[in-house]
Amino acid sequence: MAAVKNLVVGAGLSGSVVARKIVEELDESVVVIDSRNHIGGNSYDYRDDVTGIVVHKYGPHIFHTNNKEVWDFISRFTKWRPYQHKVHGFVDGQFVPIPFNLNSLRMVFPRVLADKIENKLLDKIGFNKKVSILELRKVNDKDLEFLAQYIYEKIFLEYTIKQLGLSPNEIDSSVFGRVPIYISRDDRYFQDKYQGIPLNTYTEMFRKMLEHPDIKVELKTPFDKAMKYERLFWTGSVDEFFDYTFGVLPYRSVVFDFLTFNQEKFQAVASVNNYPTNYDFTRMTEYKHFLADWSDKTIVSCEYPIDFSIGKNDRIYPIANNDNIALCEKYIDLAKRLPNVYFFGRLGDYKYYDMDEAAERAFEVFKKIKEGR
């Protein structure tokens, strides 16, 4: 069997972006393989046969970025439905905006207390600012410390235990910073300049990205070390590539339970997070919000986080703590010794990436190839 010029393992966003860049800018052929029976990785979606609603098979994906280069590149392969994502949390019997903001503050606290805390937030941090729980805890003010503790207990603590299977003190502190408090009345989950949902599905977007005479896609095709290639682009799990030499990198997986209801709408926004401990699921997503699909029925998914087990479920969330990061570094050291093999993506880097960050990382990998050619 002749060697493949460029072999990309994984037909998700990271692998698809690199494949397209190679054929267009290096004028070289690419073979993309994926063990699944579809392209798009965890961004894969489909239109339900009964309701006509577009469903995200692996949970909600909203494309958002401040990077114009990324937005312009992705926009070549799709038109967008402008969409501003809003999320509610179920807190003390109420559905309140998440991340916690000034509107949330007034919904959960009495007016006198809300006025007092809001004034201090504006005075010590400023309007239209973001502050993490960690930063808020460091402010020398008992009322703001109370707010930080309230958000920690009501929004972060139980959700994190269910989501990652660990208590917050077992997780790297960077995780706390991903859930900021907004000192504003902006209820959007993201404030990025560019936001949207592909008008004709993510799957169609990926199909167009991979549609090129010099790109060959082979699905239901696991990687085999007997395969020959000049360059290998690996977006799978880095520990799997090295046959788990140092042990298995822990992940959390998710079981999605899809429910169809005989009603037009189930909830006010697409995603409701932070269900209390008497529910085993963490998030409910109603998919018709994304593309405004009309139906007299609606489809909702409930997400039940579980531990990842090889061969039984999918890796979804890397668990970032000191031990796991140290284990990953051992694999990264091995990876650096391999010529013409490139590891990237959420699994290849063992990092949580939003979609735009995955694209940026793919750009970075391609740039190294182009410059070193």
Check pLDDT > 90 for residue 183. Answer: yes
* DSSP count for the chain of H helices, then E strands: 14, 19
Residues 218 and 273 in one domain: no
How many distinct structural domains can be found in the chain? 3
* Tokens of residue 367, six digits: 């740039």
Residues 6 or more apart in contact with residue 302 via CB below 8 angstroms: 256, 257, 259, 281, 283, 284
* Tokens of residue 98, six digits: 């998440």
* Tokens of residue 201, six digits: 């599905």
With contact defined as beta carbons under 8 Å apart, do 40 and 217 qualify? no
Model pLDDT, residue 299: 98
Q: What range does the domain containing 299 cover?
A: 252-307
Residues 69 and 100 in one domain: no
| pLDDT tens track for 93-142 | 899 999 999 999 999 999 999 999 999 999 999 999 999 888 888 888 99
User: Band of the pLDDT at 189, cuts 50, 70, 90?
Assistant: very high
Q: Which amino acid is at 148?
A: A
Residues 103 and 240 in one domain: no
Residues 92 and 156 in one domain: yes
Residues 163 and 175 in one domain: yes
Q: Does residue 192 lie in a domain region?
A: no
Question: In residues, how long is the chain?
Answer: 373
**What does the pLDDT average to over 162-168?**
79
Residues 6 or more apart in contact with residue 94 via CB below 8 angstroms: 107, 108
Q: Does residue 190 lie in a domain region?
A: no
| pLDDT tens track for 65-94 | 999 999 999 999 999 999 999 999 989 889
Residues 285 and 160 in one domain: no
Cα 214 from Cα 219, distance rounded (Å): 16
Residues 49 and 133 in one domain: no
Cα 188 from Cα 110, distance rounded (Å): 23
Residues 133 and 272 in one domain: no
| pLDDT tens track for 339-351 | 999 999 999 999 9
With contact defined as beta carbons under 8 Å apart, do 352 and 251 qualify? no
Residues 228 and 325 in one domain: yes
Check pLDDT > 70 for residue 174. Answer: no
Residues 242 and 355 in one domain: yes
Q: Does residue 194 lie in a domain region?
A: no
Q: Does residue 327 lie in a domain region?
A: yes
Q: Does residue 152 lie in a domain region?
A: yes
Please report, rounded to a whole number, the percentage of residues in the chain having pLDDT higher than 90.
82
Cα 101 from Cα 166, distance rounded (Å): 26
Residue 325: in which H helix or E strand, if any?
A: helix 322-336
Cα 13 from Cα 361, distance rounded (Å): 10
Q: Does residue 163 lie in a domain region?
A: yes
CA distances, 16 to each of 8, 166, 172, 257, 372 (Å): 8, 33, 30, 28, 21
Residues 54 and 113 in one domain: no
User: Band of the pLDDT at 277, cuts 50, 70, 90?
Assistant: low
Q: Does residue 113 lie in a domain region?
A: yes
DSSP state of 24: I
User: Band of the pLDDT at 371, cuts 50, 70, 90?
Assistant: confident
Check pLDDT > 60 for residue 177. Answer: no
| pLDDT tens track for 193-239 | 999 999 999 999 999 999 999 999 999 999 998 999 999 999 999 99
Residue 69: in which H helix or E strand, if any?
A: helix 68-75
Check pLDDT > 60 for residue 51. Answer: yes
This prediction's pTM: 0.93
Instruction: For residue 154, give the nearest of 87, 93, 85 by alpha carbon.
Output: 93
Which CATH number is 23's domain given? 3.40.50.720
Check pLDDT > 80 for residue 373. Answer: no
Residues 61 and 92 in one domain: no
